[in-house]
Amino acid sequence: MDWAIGVDIGGTKIEAALVDERGAVEGLYRQATQADLGPAVVLDRLQTSIRIVLDQAPGPVRAVGIGFAGQVDASSGVVYYAPNLPGWRDVPLKAKLESTLGLPVFVLNDVHAAAWAEWTYGAGQGWDDLVCVFIGTGVGGGVILGGRLQTGASGSLGEVGHMPIVADGRACRCGGRGCLEAYIGGWAIAEQVRQDIQAHWVEWGDVGPLEAFTAETLADLCQRGHSRAQAWSDRLGRYLGIGMVGVVNVLNPRGLILGGGVLQGFPEWLTVVAVTIQALALPSAARTVEVRRAGLGRHGGLIGAAAWARWQLQKEVTG
């Protein structure tokens, strides 16, 4: 069996697992990122996670693929910047891991990894032109055009979460204002709704401790028919739809794949996005695009990272 290790590093968790050439996952290990403690602590926890998974391997492991929630130069494996992981600037992650693990390591953006997985094994099979957008703590995108993963001049292609949709709008963690993520990222949803609860507490009623209110809390209230919560869901879904109109107009994909933890709580947003695209996107772009839910679930990032590592090794062999 041909094994690689796939790792998904986000603002809240590190997940690592063995992945075979069919995309099957075994030996999953998960722990908190503890991002607020800085890169050195996160790197130590990352290496621990990889070694725990490596010890479970039933056969040789060829390589390690890392999907990292930040701006990454995939050719060098350097993490330039990570909005949701403090202190990560110009960190040579590939070099640091290869020196301690003794295995080839390949690093790419986490959503690029998830897009590669969806194209290889998931909802994007059969499409050579697609965009994947994942909505979790942050909002990121991965783009495949002509059957090739597009990374841009510095690795930041696909950062749709930091595409401004409101002039002089809400402050974003990237330092900009009015970004899509500043409205529909998990952290931003919680901030906005908490402010609304404080301003309209009578209409909200008892929704529990304010500091514990999250995007998941909002989704639960929507499922229970809470009218103000539903109004917020409608507003946020509209923001997502407007952002996706821009993506479709610029990139003209055959497929638009949406996923991520936040989207799981608001499945109706897929319909909102599809309707908004048909209403507002350029007719030539709207005519050919199909909106689908991501098919690989929460492990798509690590599956894609492992598949990317395996593909990179093959490229080195074949030249």
Would you place residue 317 in the very low, low, confident or very high pLDDT band (cuts 50, 70, 90)? low
For residue 266, pLDDT beyond 90: yes
DSSP string, 79-119: EEE-TTSTT-EEEEHHHHHHHHH-S-EEEEEHHHHHHHHHH
Q: How confident is the model over 203-260, as pLDDT tens digits?
A: 999 999 999 999 999 999 999 999 999 999 999 999 999 999 999 999 999 999 999 9
Query: Mean pLDDT across the stretch 1-11?
Result: 90
155: confidence class by pLDDT, cuts 50, 70, 90: confident
Task: Give the C-alpha separation, 242 to 264, whole Å.
Answer: 19
- Per-residue pLDDT for 318 more than 70? no
Q: Is the dihedral of CA 262, 21, 13, 131 positive or negative?
A: negative
User: Is the alpha carbon torsion for 271, 219, 113, 149 positive or negative?
Assistant: positive
46-75 pLDDT, tens per residue?
999 999 999 999 999 999 999 998 889 988
- Does residue 146 or residue 136 have the better pLDDT? 146
Give the pLDDT confidence of 193-217 residue by residue, as tens digits.
999 999 999 999 999 999 999 999 9
- Looking at residue 169, its amino acid is G
Q: What is the mean pLDDT of residues 313-319?
A: 72
Residues 6+ apart with CB under 8 A from 34: 41, 42, 45
Q: Which domains does the chain have, with CATH numbers?
A: 3-116+298-318 (3.30.420.40), 125-295 (3.30.420.40)
Helices (H), the chain: 39-55, 93-101, 110-120, 181-184, 186-199, 201-204, 215-223, 227-251, 261-265, 269-280, 283-288, 300-318
Residue 319 pLDDT level (bands cut at 50, 70, 90): low
Taking only the tens place, the pLDDT of each residue in 283-298 is: 999 999 999 999 998 8
To the nearest whole percent, how much of the chain has pLDDT over 90? 88
